Amino acid sequence: FDMKGEDVIVFLHIQKTGGTTFGRHLVQNVRLEVPCDCRPGQKKCTCYRPNRRETWLFSRFSTGWSCGLHADWTELTNCVPGVLGRRESAPNRTPR
């Protein structure tokens, strides 16, 4: 995974597997060059790449339930490119 590149981690939350705890750790406890900005009282954190206002993480804790509650693989595959394109005004590129 290249945080400074174009890759995006899409977190697929599977119920009853510890996914909520793991997802929270991704935004709060992973030591990064630019850590996610998690403010008290807010449910979402801002996880930007170094030197760019683009997200590197697509999860409920960084983008909210953008593709619906507990979206499955098919829903995420169809939804994520459009959501990221709208959020970041990215040129049409193939997501990886």
For residue 6, CA distances in Å to 46, 60, 79, 88 come to 17, 20, 18, 12
Return the domain boundaries, the chain: 9-89
21: Cα within 13 Å, side-chain hemisphere: 3
Residue 15: band (very low, low, confident or very high) from pLDDT cuts 50, 70, 90: confident
The question of whether 25 is a catalytic residue gets the answer no
**Rounded to two decimals, what is the model's pTM?**
0.85
pLDDT in tens, 82-95: 999 887 765 555 55
Mean pLDDT of 15-25: 92
pLDDT in tens, 29-76: 999 999 999 999 998 999 999 999 999 999 999 999 999 988 999 999
Among residues 70, 73, 75, 78, the one annotated as catalytic is 70
pLDDT of residue 57: 95
